Amino acid sequence: MSLWKECFSNASQALQPSPIREMLHVIRQPGMISFAGGMPDPAIFPVEEFYQCASILEKEGRDVLQYGTTEGYAPLKEFLATWLAPRLGRTPKMEELLITTGSTQVIDLLNWATINENDAIIVENPTFLGSTLNMHNHGAHFLPVSCDEKGMLVEDLPQLIEGALKEGRKVRYIYCIVNFHNPLGCTLSLERRKRLLEISKQYGVPILEDDPYGFVRFDGDHLPSLYSLDQNEGTIYAGSFSKILAPGTRIAWCVGPEDIIRKMTVFKQGTDVCSSVVTQALVYEYCRRGYLDSFLPKIIAHYRKKRDAMEQAFRTYLPKDQVSYVTPEGGFFYWLSTPNIPVDALFDKAIEKKVAFVKGKPFYPLEDGGEHQFRMCYTFASPEQIEEGCSRLGTAMKELL
Amino acid sequence: MISFAGGMPDPQVFPVKEFLQATSILEKEGKSVLQYGATDGYEPLKDFLARWMAPRMGRVTEPEEMLITTGSQQVMDLFAAVMLDPGDAVLLEAPSYPGALHALRNRNATFISVPCDEKGMMVSEMPAIIEKAQKEGKRIKFIYSIVNFQNPSGSTLSKERRLQLLEVAKKYGIPIFEDDPYGHLRFEGEHEPTIFSLDKDGLVLYACSFSKILAPGTRVAWVVAPKDVIKKMVMIKQGSDLCTSVVSQALVYEYCRLGLLDSFLPKIIDHYRKKRDGMKEAFREYLPENAEYEIPQGGFFYWIRLPGMDTKEVFYKAVERGVAFVIGESFFPNGGGKEYLRTCYTFAESADFVEGSKRLAQAIEDLRK
């Protein structure tokens, strides 16, 4: 196959398989309890409700089987505009809303529209791998900013931006997972949201507010979205049906100023023309029948129990004073720190004991951290598996101390 | 307005009832269908396609050689990412499909045109074109060809030329992207063997789609290529959309498994054959004597030459008269095509062919005055 390899682009020659995917090979063993993948629990998928929505294929078959508009299925867009209004602070216009094939595509399209080779994106350190993979594929330069339990340390931004500008680099946008961060589990505080917007305005650097988990809040009050607080049209808000309905639909959306949405739409024509109209129509019918609203509380209650089960198991089985974590108020993940245990060794030991998690390092885009940190997902495993898995993890830790 | 412009299927021939039968899979397999899917595609669909495509591919391809994509537009997007650095050249038919050009332009590709006749790309011209481009320092990364019932020309690459094309690919070390969205829609005559099936050296990437043989609203297509190419495309897809709608893939799979793809395809072919004939009769009756066009043996399009005319001017007149088409220039990456226009016969209603052709003829007449 040397002929093809000779023809590969520089970017694709350099492309390496994602560390998580490589890890999945190790994890696929009989008896393994996995807290690694960030997947929803299929036990809480609304299978029956979703199946009922197939009726739309009979009623609207001829429209639904045809090519759709690149912007998205109009009835779904209208539903979303209304449904999102409380979160966005107003009902967005149709021209401000784009339906995408999963929220990964939001990042892809935004990068098409904004990034030239070596342009910078500010990202939380650590952050979601899927997003940084796409940014990397577009040749972006990463400007990571540290986080604590209240999210991104926004006061570090001015220096970071000024440093980049001095190097002659264009800083294209700030990528922020605002609620129940992946992998950190933290939520950006209201005070920091306001400050982030000020900095964004001051330096003219817009924000991509990524919010796949925001609707899955277990306790406490929802914080206003950056989008709703923003007075300067500097924010794009991205959301998805992956966590509030099902990821197999691959239906997500973004809301932003008309000019950037228009550009992203043009790039979407070149990447997949439109998202599956069949799936968009099924999702729309699910929403229209009121299932989204009636089922969401069940999903939240289901995952709250699992989070509680995991925290209880941490308290019972993990060695005291050797582990620290922040209790997430929603979302999918715990982020654990083990100052006295290197995570590479812990991972090997854990796999031996048949329990898996994701090591911290791959979440750091410059691989400059995470040696003593790892991510645990509580949504996919059953409560029994959570207890047994944490017990195994505790044993692995104790053996390494 | 009567539109012969967009290249869309006829919703009248969508298998709405049949597709509805397939929705039972959402009940039976709901838990796996609603979950994240593998980036390379829904396994049962891949298995089905490997067997269903075997006669065309010359063998049952392996799972690692196949990737399911979100429409065949995504094949070009991913493949271009794998192959092209800015400024790299792609050798392609002139005219060619604007959607493909769009995805390639996004990667700052340059285009090297190969002239075409009624047998497709004029392969005998290629060595001189390639050698000239290489002398100019251009890096040609692949050859892009829509092999059957080409969009827009309607032509099909002859078997002889397919074999010659493989020789060119081998001699110059340039792989081939064989795009085949229309190949299954043959109205008469024999299927030509795919370039993929004629190839012995692993030089060909083959792409096909459910858009024309089932329905474009599914956004499910596939690509077959050497394993290391597929592996790279999968890695790019992970960062682009992670996986294609599993819901959509499962519905398409169930439709295929129930035998509906095979039982319904002949109906689609019959339907479009009649429409091609209907448009032909209307053209023969109303278009001016000197209008030149071939009768396509399949696919969606007529490609018409109006000697001495600028079809952009015809277009404005035609729209005034209430008929639309696509002007030839849109299909030429490096200019040209002024005398050409494309009409699509699949989407418009047969009842409008006569009126649409009359209006087109009137528009041409208006300009000649």
Residues 277-296 of A with CB under 8 A from B: 277-279, 282
Q: Is the pLDDT of residue B115 over 70?
A: yes
Using a CB-CB cut-off of 8 Å, the residues of chain A touching B83 are: 7-9, 12
What is the interface pTM, i.e. ipTM, of the complex? 0.96
The answer to whether A272 contacts B245, with C-beta atoms less than 8 Å apart, is no
What is the pLDDT averaged over residues A27-54? 94
Q: Is the pLDDT of residue B135 over 90?
A: yes
Give the minimum alpha-carbon distance from A237 to chain B in angstroms, rounded to a whole number: 18
Cα(B202)–Cα(B199) distance, rounded to whole angstroms? 7
CATH class, A2-46+294-400 region: alpha beta
pLDDT confidence bin for B29, thresholds 50/70/90: very high
Domains and their CATH numbers in chain B: 2-12+262-368 (3.90.1150.10), 23-257 (3.40.640.10)
Task: Name, in order, each residue with C-beta under 8 angstroms of B12's C-beta and a sequence gap of 6 or more.
Answer: A62, B271
Convert the pLDDT of each residue in A65-92 to its tens digit: 999 999 999 999 999 999 999 999 999 9
Backbone phi and psi for residue B172, each to the nearest 5 degrees, phi listed first: -100, 0
Q: Is the pLDDT of residue A1 over 60?
A: no
Where along chain A do the CATH 3.90.1150.10 domains lie? 2-46+294-400
* Residue in A with minimal Cα distance to B102: A270
What is the pLDDT averaged over residues A150-160? 98
What is the pLDDT averaged over residues A95-106? 98
What is the pLDDT averaged over residues A357-371? 96
Task: Name, in order, each residue with C-beta under 8 angstroms of B363's C-beta and a sequence gap of 6 or more.
Answer: B314, B317, B318, B320, B321, B323
Give the minimum alpha-carbon distance from B205 to chain A in angstroms, rounded to a whole number: 10
pLDDT at position A27 is: 80
Q: What is the DSSP letter of A40?
A: P
pLDDT at position A22 is: 72
Mean pLDDT of chain B, nearest integer = 97
Backbone phi and psi for residue B39, each to the nearest 5 degrees, phi listed first: -60, -35
Residues 96-155 of A with CB under 8 A from B: 100-102, 104-105, 108, 112, 130, 133-134, 136-137
Residue by residue, DSSP assigns B164-214 as HHHHHHHHHT--EEEE-SSTT-B-SSPPPPPHHHH-SSS-EEEEEESTTTT
Query: Which residue among B11, B226, B245 sits closest to A62, beta carbon to beta carbon?
Result: B11
Mean pLDDT of chain A, nearest integer = 96
Q: Is the pLDDT of residue B262 over 80?
A: yes
- The count of CB pairs under 8 A between chains A and B is 234
Using a CB-CB cut-off of 8 Å, the residues of chain A touching B220 are: 276
Query: Which residue among B16, B203, B248 sits closest to A276, beta carbon to beta carbon?
Result: B248
Cα(B346)–Cα(B4) distance, rounded to whole angstroms? 9
Where along chain A do the CATH 3.40.640.10 domains lie? 58-291
Q: Is the pLDDT of residue B204 over 70?
A: yes
Convert the pLDDT of each residue in A172-218 to its tens digit: 999 999 999 999 999 999 999 999 999 999 999 999 999 999 999 99
Which tokens sit at B192?
């030509």
Model confidence pTM above 0.90: yes
Convert the pLDDT of each residue in B226-251 to its tens digit: 999 999 999 999 999 999 999 999 99
pLDDT confidence bin for A2, thresholds 50/70/90: low
Q: What is the percent of chain A with per-residue pLDDT over 90, rounded to a whole number?
A: 93
Interface contact A4, partner B, CB < 8 A: yes
Q: What is the percent of chain B with per-residue pLDDT over 70, rounded to a whole number?
A: 100
Q: What is the percent of chain A with per-residue pLDDT over 70, rounded to a whole number?
A: 99
Give the residue from A279, A284, A332 with the most B CB atoms within 10 Å of its CB, the best one to mutate: A279
More confident residue, A95 or B369: A95
Helices A129-137 and A104-114 meet at what angle, rounded to 10?
A: 30
Convert the pLDDT of each residue in B303-332 to its tens digit: 999 999 999 999 999 999 999 999 999 999
Give the residue from B242, B243, B268, B330 with the most A CB atoms within 10 Å of its CB, the best one to mutate: B242
CATH class, A58-291 region: alpha beta
Q: Is the pLDDT of residue B369 over 90?
A: no
Give the minimum alpha-carbon distance from A73 to chain B in angstroms, rounded to a whole number: 11
